[in-house]
Structure 1
Amino acid sequence: MHTFNVAAKNTSLAWAAACRALDVPAHLSRDGFHTVVRIADAAAEDPLLRTHFDQMRDRHGYEPIETVANTLFPAKLAAACSSPEELVHRYREMYERLKRMDRQNRGGTYFGRIVAYPGESGAVDQLTLLITRIRRQASGKGPMSAAYEMDIAHPDDVVPGDSTWSTPVHVTGKDNGYRGFPCLSHCSFQLDRERTLHAVALYRSHYMVARAYGNYLGLGRMLAYLAQQAQVRPGSLTVVAGHAQIEDDVTAIRPIIQEQMQLPA
């Protein structure tokens, strides 16, 4: 089984390192299992790599990176809202329209699952719930570190004193497709003793060219927003993929990821 574990200071460097780890002569399928990408600041990018990757995506007909990132976190909409509650309200109002506008969103968007998770008694706003819990813990004398967990949490569960929060995305009994939405199964957030908020995201599958960069960026922006609203510091993002692959023709991205090797890490 081919795998990798890479770490970098921003999304651009992390994505390039992950692609290089998959693009090895001894592994022609260019995929890996149980891969781990650690990003110190996933909301940050390298402008040169981003520009070249944007140009390559446009030539080959991929969605813009911002389109992918917005499925995780609509940064411009958030900046225009005065509170998380307003952000949730406005996104819910447009959610059905978003699903109709793009066939890839017909099953929903990741951010839609976060702010309107299909709970037993209706849509659950996990975003505001998370911010409230984190802020409450951070304001205490000693917020607890992360607890052990399995992905059986429900967004309505409250465990007193526990400073690990999970955000379910995959819905048992509803998301039965072998492929497609949602590839992101679960997000978990940890608050350390320095009041820094970290995140880990679990993907069942990751397409490195079409989706990974935008996913890292969107998750990083959501982490930064959560930290800002909860009045703590944003920390690192760790992305675990059950299966990661460089799809299509790898030669399209080789000049980009090889160029990045010449830049300071």
Structure 2
Amino acid sequence: MKPIHADTCVDAWLQGCDHLLAQEQDAWRDYNLVSEIANPLALPPGDRAVVDILNRFLVERNGLPFSTVVNTIFPAQLYQRHGAAGVYERYVSDVLPHVLKHPDCAWGTYAQRILCRVDADGKEFSPLKALVAKLKSQLAISGTNRGTYELGTIDPLLDIPIYDPASSDRNRPNGGPCLSHISVKLTADHRVMLTAVYRSHYWVQRTLGNLFGLAHLQHFIAQEAGLEIGPLVCHSTMAQLETHAKRWNGRQVRDLVARCHAARSLAVAA
């Protein structure tokens, strides 16, 4: 297991890059990288420069833009513009069709599964909305339960089956969904902590966007429940700093990581 203690999402991603680059015996792959991020929404200038470099790298090679990866988990800009009602009501109609146009998202998005499901009676409901309501109801009583807020696979009618073995997910040898489970907890001082478990994590194309998407989801839950945001934990049960036969090679990945480190260091020094 590799524990990563980081201040920001970019910090965690770069630490993971460095660790995976050292795993040359297994094609830059390792198991059980656990990142704890103290300030998941923080984006100082050096970190913003890293996001810009990574986004250009991906877009120039026909990968998913950084913002699209974020939106597969949570539509942060929709929340900023239209509030919670906009997220619940407009994601499927306004955002999802654009995301699904990219071939890498043909299976759907996590946000779609979090925001809109169908119960056993054929009625649509929002698992995320139900989780927020459950959290708020617990805060209104004494003896608040701090560990019953799951977005996972326990009960597809009450929780969010992000990885759903009852669907075609079980037949996909590769590709999404790689996020298996999300667990939401309350800390002793009533901050919202979010833990995500990935069965597989592609560090170049997905991980940094995933971390920011999770951070925005965590922020949404905290805001709507009237709480502060706590640490974000991401458990990548398998992580790979991947190359792509038609998009980028190992030399380009090494160069990408080096440029990201340099840009962040330059901003800190300034």
> Is TM more than 0.5 here?
yes
> In the alignment, which residue of structure 1 is the partner of 2:53?
52
* Counterpart-to-counterpart distance in 2, 1:100 and 1:52: 24
> In the alignment, which residue of structure 1 is the partner of 2:246?
none
Retained in 2: the 8 A contact 1:154–1:168?
A: yes
Q: Percent identity of the aligned residues?
A: 26
**SS of 2:38's equivalent?**
strand
User: Does residue 23 in structure 1 map to residue 6 in structure 2?
Assistant: no
TM-score w.r.t. length of structure 2: 0.83
> In the alignment, which residue of structure 1 is the partner of 2:138?
137
* Counterpart-to-counterpart distance in 2, 1:50 and 1:149: 29
Shift of the alpha carbon at 1:208?
A: 0.2
Retained in 2: the 8 A contact 1:167–1:188?
A: no
> In the alignment, which residue of structure 1 is the partner of 2:221?
226
Shift of the alpha carbon at 1:228?
A: 0.4
Shift of the alpha carbon at 1:217?
A: 0.5
Distance 1:193 1:107, change over 3 A: same
User: Does residue 173 in structure 1 map to residue 166 in structure 2?
Assistant: yes
> In the alignment, which residue of structure 2 is the partner of 1:242?
237
Structure 1 unaligned spans of 5+: 158-165
Retained in 1: the 8 A contact 2:21–2:28?
A: yes
* Counterpart-to-counterpart distance in 2, 1:64 and 1:30: 23
**SS of 1:200's equivalent?**
strand
Cα deviation, 1:192-245, whole Å, max 9, x if unaligned, reads: 231100001111110000000000001101101110011011111111112100
Retained in 2: the 8 A contact 1:117–1:125?
A: yes
Shift of the alpha carbon at 1:67?
A: 1.1
Retained in 1: the 8 A contact 2:64–2:104?
A: no
**SS of 1:255's equivalent?**
helix
* Counterpart-to-counterpart distance in 2, 1:149 and 1:190: 9
Q: Which amino acid aligns with 1:138?
A: L
* Counterpart-to-counterpart distance in 2, 1:64 and 1:134: 33
**SS of 2:142's equivalent?**
coil
Retained in 1: the 8 A contact 2:40–2:232?
A: yes
Distance 1:100 1:138, change over 3 A: same
Shift of the alpha carbon at 1:105?
A: 2.5
Give the structure with the higher percent helix: 2
* Counterpart-to-counterpart distance in 2, 1:209 and 1:224: 24
